[in-house]
């Protein structure tokens, strides 16, 4: 079996991807999408695993659209271990963070046509084992290397499968259906640029972009350059408004006019969009010392 054949897209619904990695000895899920579609995710995983179990749930970071299904997965596979960064573990121990995750999950359910989300225990939404840069997860015939790539969050991790298939974190940006790269430097613009450079130097043969999936060969040739360009263009957009005397709220309004398109309205809760946009604006202002 080819390596790419051992990586199966088991995404349960729109808004957050999930990929199952099948080793000969262990299995691992990379991210798990949103809460509203957890039942579909579980059904997809079961169809692939047959009688095998799910051993690991690797989370790229602690945002609701990447971890929403964790409690439901833990109910189904109680022995599975959630693996994430130390900061993700700390975040998921905070009541306010858990409250926001639940709120955004419920908003997303309405956007995607679900009445609500199945109730879950907040105690299940946690990191069991902390993983960090340079660690390796042996699945048998396949390995997953952990790559710290901060910038989107302080807990962002990328995952490199067998040194050639890269799941870059959202710090590097994400690709839309049109092929355009959108930036997501919520905590640090400089760290985002460093993360893009770090991923590019890994020279992966395949790139599986967050919220998109497998990047085709032609797009992969310029993928990292486009990620970097997206960061620089957004940064310059914000700085231009600052130079015109706009304050944070005015910048947010203008940012929303330009970047909150019809596709974004279909796929992302308004609260989530504004939280992300405000974070990027504040990051630029902070790093430029305004």
- Domain range enclosing 179: 4-228
CB 259 within 8 A of CB 241: no
Average model confidence (pLDDT) across the chain: 94
Q: Beta 81-84 vs 129-130: how paired, if at all?
A: parallel
Q: What is the pLDDT of residue 180?
A: 81
Q: What is the pLDDT of residue 115?
A: 83
Q: What is the pLDDT of residue 192?
A: 98
> Residue 234: inside a domain, yes or no?
no
pLDDT tier at 1, thresholds 50, 70, 90: low
pLDDT tens per residue, range 6-19: 999 999 999 899 99
Sign of torsion over alpha carbons 9, 10, 14, 15: negative
Q: What is the pLDDT of residue 267?
A: 67
Residue 10 makes CB contacts below 8 A (sequence gap 6+) with 18, 19, 20, 29, 41, 44, 45, 48
> Residue 268: inside a domain, yes or no?
no
Q: What is the pLDDT of residue 39?
A: 97
> Residue 55: inside a domain, yes or no?
yes
- Answer whether residue 269 shows pLDDT above 80: no
How much is the average pLDDT of 253-269? 80
Cα 272 to chain centroid, rounded: 13
- Answer whether residue 31 shows pLDDT above 70: yes
pLDDT tier at 221, thresholds 50, 70, 90: very high
How much is the average pLDDT of 251-262? 88
Q: What is the pLDDT of residue 8?
A: 97
> Residue 186: inside a domain, yes or no?
yes
> Residue 206: inside a domain, yes or no?
yes
> Residue 123: inside a domain, yes or no?
yes
pLDDT tens per residue, range 156-210: 999 999 999 999 999 999 888 777 888 999 999 999 999 999 999 999 999 999 9
pLDDT tens per residue, range 98-150: 999 999 999 999 988 898 899 999 999 999 999 999 999 999 999 999 999 99
Q: What is the pLDDT of residue 176?
A: 81
- CATH number reported for the structural domain that contains residue 117 in this entry: 3.60.15.10
pLDDT tens per residue, range 73-112: 999 999 999 999 999 999 999 999 999 999 999 999 998 8
- pTM given for the model: 0.94
CB 50 within 8 A of CB 43: no
Q: What is the pLDDT of residue 228?
A: 97
**Number of domains into which the chain is organized:** 1
> Residue 42: inside a domain, yes or no?
yes
> Residue 187: inside a domain, yes or no?
yes
Sign of torsion over alpha carbons 221, 178, 252, 276: negative
Q: What is the pLDDT of residue 272?
A: 80
């Amino acid at each position: 079996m080819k390596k790419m054949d051992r990586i199966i897209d088991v995404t349960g619904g729109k808004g957050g991807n999930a990929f199952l990695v099948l080793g000969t000895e262990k299995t691992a899920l990379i991210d798990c999408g949103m809460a509203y579609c957890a039942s579909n995710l579980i059904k997809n995983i079961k169809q692939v695993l047959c009688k095998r179990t799910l051993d690991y749930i690797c989370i790229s970071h602690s945002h609701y659209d990447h971890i929403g299904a964790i409690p439901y997965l833990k109910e189904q596979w109680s022995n599975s271990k959630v693996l994430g960064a130390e900061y993700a573990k700390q975040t998921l121990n905070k009541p306010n963070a858990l409250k926001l995750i639940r709120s955004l999950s419920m908003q997303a359910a309405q956007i995607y046509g679900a009445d609500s989300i199945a109730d879950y225990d907040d105690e299940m939404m946690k990191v069991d084992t902390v993983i960090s840069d340079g660690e390796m997860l042996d699945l048998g015939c396949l390995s997953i290397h952990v790559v710290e790539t901060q910038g989107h969050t302080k807990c962002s991790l990328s995952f490199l499968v067998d040194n050639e298939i890269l799941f870059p974190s959202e710090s590097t940006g994400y690709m839309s259906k049109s092929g355009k790269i959108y930036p997501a430097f919520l905590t640090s613009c400089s760290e985002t640029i460093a993360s893009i450079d770090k991923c590019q130097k890994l020279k992966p043969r395949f790139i599986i972009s967050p919220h998109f999936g497998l990047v085709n060969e032609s797009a992969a040739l310029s993928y990292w350059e486009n990620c970097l360009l997206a960061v620089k263009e957004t940064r310059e957009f914000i700085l231009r408004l600052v130079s015109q005397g706009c304050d944070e709220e005015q910048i947010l309004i203008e940012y929303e006019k330009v970047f909150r398109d019809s596709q974004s309205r279909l796929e992302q809760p308004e609260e989530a969009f504004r939280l992300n946009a405000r974070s990027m604006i504040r990051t630029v202002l902070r790093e430029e010392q305004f």
